[in-house]
Amino acid sequence: MSYETHADLGGRSGSGAVAPELEGELFHAAWEPRALALTLAVGATGAWNIDMSRAARETLPNYAELSYYEIWLAGLQRLLAQRGLLSPDEAAAGQALHPALALKRVLRAGDVASVLAAGSPTLRPSADVPRFNVGQRVRTRGEPVAHHSRLPAYARNKVGVVERLHGAHVFADANAQGLGEQAQWLYTVAFDSSELWGDDATPALTVSVDAWDAYLELA
Amino acid sequence: MSHDHAHDDDHSELSAMDLRVRALETVLTQKGYIDPAALDVLIDTYQTRIGPRNGARVVARAWVDAAFRGWLLRDATAAIASLGYGGRQGEHMIAVENTAGRHNMVVCTLCSCYPWPVLGLPPTWYKSAPYRSRAVKDPRGVLADFGVTLPEATELRVWDSTAEVRYLVIPQRPAGTEHLGEEQLAALVTRDSMIGTGLVALPTSVA
């Protein structure tokens, strides 16, 4: 089984300069806000979770060639197709040609404000005692995994210091695979730039990631 | 990653995307999966109601109210909620404070995680390959792209938002703003300063 993400960009070279943007510039084409809203509205049906949608986007073979809202749209269409909610002939025709499947819920206009205000908290009650405490040195997992994960490649097999404990959170790796939430402790782990980048390191730089328990072992 | 700018001159591609999105919206509406009126409300919400002015109010309050600042640094989710902001993509907030010796910057190298309730939707550059690839390795170079130079001695701290925790930078309050009220201060706070790619400056009229 292989899994290839095209979204793990931290530390990659050759990407060029950042192009700043004015504060009010949210969209650059008329279809972009519709694509955003479609993604949010269909996401609110509960047909998949946020980790599944991230997995669908990051594994798009042409990820690097797409603009961000093109990625969102392609991810949405992919998830709809995978679940049989939308057939390729319907997408092509722009017409419903097959019976609809039942969804858990549909986001109504009148419910948007309350649904956004509620959000989707990922903190879960847990009886587990955290394995690590603030100030402890930990080493991150070294091997890539064959599924969606939130440990960036640049932070693999690195030693850092636990800086914050966030409680037990829905484990993205499991949730993306449909294996349930499997909440586990989440930590902020801080790395000295020389640990991450060696001789290329920017002096006086510390970089942190938020890492689940499964990503870490005592160093 | 290509940019929308690359599409600006290509009207046929733009309209192809418009048609594709419209077709998808039509099918999903016919199937009863979406309420098209909900899309209008969603778009209006992020164009007019939820944006960086929210975060600017949080920052200005922290600047004028030491007790609020302390609460914000201890429990940002609750402190921010007390001003009426919270929910989607801001369920678990952390506020990090810039000081004379330390500058914070926030990135999501894996996708585009961003604190929506206080900053709204992320700008294009935040989601772009240049920012996501360079922020964790060459933050001073990124700052230079924004016209910002920090003293050599300033310690840099970059927060990669790899889980569902979202970060808000509390920029430094500029000197010479002692006479300004909370609303005037909020007007000075830029979106970029709350991501860590900008600094808050005095109004240019002063100079």
Cβ count near A66 (within 10 Å): 18
Domain shared by B107 and B181, yes or no = yes
| Confidence at B7, pLDDT banded by 50, 70, 90 | very low
Residue among A202, A207, A204 nearest A190 (CA): A207
Per-residue pLDDT tens digits for A60-92: 999 999 999 999 999 999 999 999 999 999 988
Q: Is B108 designated active site? A: yes
Closest-CA distance of chain A to residue B147, Å: 10
What CATH topology corresponds to A31-118?
A: Cyclin A; domain 1 (1.10.472)
Average pLDDT over residues B78-91: 98
Q: Which part of chain A has CATH 2.30.30.50?
A: 123-218
Domain shared by B22 and B63, yes or no = no
Instruction: Scan for tokens 């206080």, then name that residue.
Output: B118
**CATH number, domain with residue B55:** 3.90.330.10
CA distance B107 to B121: 14
Interface check for B8 against chain A (CB to CB < 8 A): the answer is yes
- Which of the pair, A90 or B14, is modelled with greater confidence? A90
Domain tally for chain B?
2
CB contact under 8 A, B1 and A108: no
Domain shared by B171 and B138, yes or no = yes
Per-residue pLDDT tens digits for A134-183: 999 999 999 999 999 999 999 999 999 999 999 999 999 999 999 999 99
Of B2, B108, B128, B133, which is the active-site residue?
B108
CATH class of A123-218: mainly beta
Domain shared by B20 and B107, yes or no = no
Average pLDDT over residues A8-19: 95
pLDDT computed for residue B186 by the predictor: 98
> What's the gap between Cα B138 and its chain centre?
20
Domain shared by B74 and B98, yes or no = yes
Domain shared by B168 and B68, yes or no = yes
Instruction: With a cut of 60, say whether residue A203 has pLDDT above it.
Output: yes
Instruction: With a cut of 90, say whether residue B9 has pLDDT above it.
Output: no
CA distance A64 to A55: 15
| Residue B180 lies inside a defined structural domain of this protein | yes
Domain shared by B43 and B57, yes or no = no
Instruction: With a cut of 60, say whether residue B12 has pLDDT above it.
Output: no
Average pLDDT over residues B84-107: 98
pLDDT computed for residue A24 by the predictor: 87
The residue range of the domain holding B24 is 11-47
Interface check for A104 against chain B (CB to CB < 8 A): the answer is no
DSSP string, B69-99: HHHHHH-HHHHHHTTT--STT-SEEEEEE--
| Residue B70 lies inside a defined structural domain of this protein | yes
Residue type, A216: L
| Confidence at B6, pLDDT banded by 50, 70, 90 | very low
Q: Which part of chain A has CATH 1.10.472.20?
A: 31-118
What residues contact residue B31 under an 8 Å CB cut-off, 6+ apart?
A85, A86, A96, A100
Domain shared by B36 and B78, yes or no = no
Domain shared by B38 and B114, yes or no = no
Q: Is B82 designated active site? A: no
| Confidence at B38, pLDDT banded by 50, 70, 90 | very high
Cα-atom radius of gyration of chain B, to the nearest Å?
19
| Residue B4 lies inside a defined structural domain of this protein | no
CB contact under 8 A, B162 and A211: yes
- Percent share of chain A, pLDDT over 70: 100
- Percent share of chain B, pLDDT over 90: 90
